[in-house]
Structure 1
């Protein structure tokens, strides 16, 4: 073998040595980019599935309309009027034109001028006379919690219309603000029409004073731990909350709040299905 051939072979060898690390770097970078792209695609697909199931546009519209609603209370004539208006708003959003899911009215335990009727709608389960009741309290002040709660409720109810749960889901629009056990007493007295009918669980959505949207205390955590729920004292009477239900003024609906409310609705949907199974 000639000296010239040896030199060519040596140069090829050094070129391979130099190119190999570059190839590894390029391959690593490409792999990382593909991995991130796959994660983004999975996240986008998940958001799309949630949006389809719950109708993100409807939630956004409902949140915008909720901001136009006045404060509700039972102590003033205007407060009671606004409370009734909110109930009609949710019912009309769930069943446009009175079609689809139907609401029934019933009395509450209040008396005199403070008495307003509650409204409820059922999504029948295999055990049609045993109910998992989800209570949406209508009394509230204008702000983020109010906007999120009233915004997610109509789409949440509609998304469960074809769910076929084990226990019948009963969504309650209540003018009363009280503990889950007190709600249960009122519901037993005013909404159960026969001795065959029973309340299996009562879940009440509660607003809270101070929490960030990124706080890990969300409904998904509860939904993924049914054993934890089952071990809770008074587990048949649950008062649950979410970071989007924090009490604070809000001037506009930020993209962050919209996205968090959609996520909260999906988490709540999963939790309700688990508790009604």
Structure 2
């Protein structure tokens, strides 16, 4: 199938890109996302204009800051996976990157396009939510930072306003320990269910934690009941069991022809237990 006709521009500044997006209703920005190109080819979507961000130097690269890490939206997944600080400090993100697609996908896909597409089976989305990341966006009304918790709003839906584009992802100082566990779909390689865990420790107690799920629900989101079961307690078996038992409380699962909502919701507890046991032994 051939795509419907569309216009294409490749601006060299963020301002030019915002102007192009704002001037054409339903325009989309292209940040390496192979998923968007597939959707255009199969006519699942038909944007009248594609705004390619790859020629904007300000959107490329990883920058160390006083408070953490800033990742340009055109930085590829492969570049992120090769970064020593991400592999050493933001382990949940590194593990999610490693489990995303295959090398060809990681070489093409940039983090901005990956997040804008908002796939419900995205490994990276759960890791960013667990790590407390924020998504930096710029649009016709200026710039703002959207917490990853609030960025994903539904099935392939985000908090981006018309004319806005993703410029960067900001990661705060890393947690003491983090991990990502996944049940992989054998065909498209996305998450049937994935769980990201970030723990901040005070001695042997969990002072703070952020837990997030992907694949089992229509968008990446936190696991508040499981977080409550862990916070303020040592990371011991009874607490792990309690967190796993309540991991899916209050969540609505998604189903397809292969995997039911009940199965996916059950797997949240299984994968959470696996991640916590791994972190306890680390």
Calculate the TM-score normalised by the size of structure 2: 0.26
Q: Which entry has the higher C-alpha Rg, 1 or 2?
A: 1
Whose RCO is larger (CA < 8 A, sep 6+)? Answer: 1
Calculate the TM-score normalised by the size of structure 1: 0.26
Q: Which structure dedicates a bigger proportion of its chain to helix?
A: 1
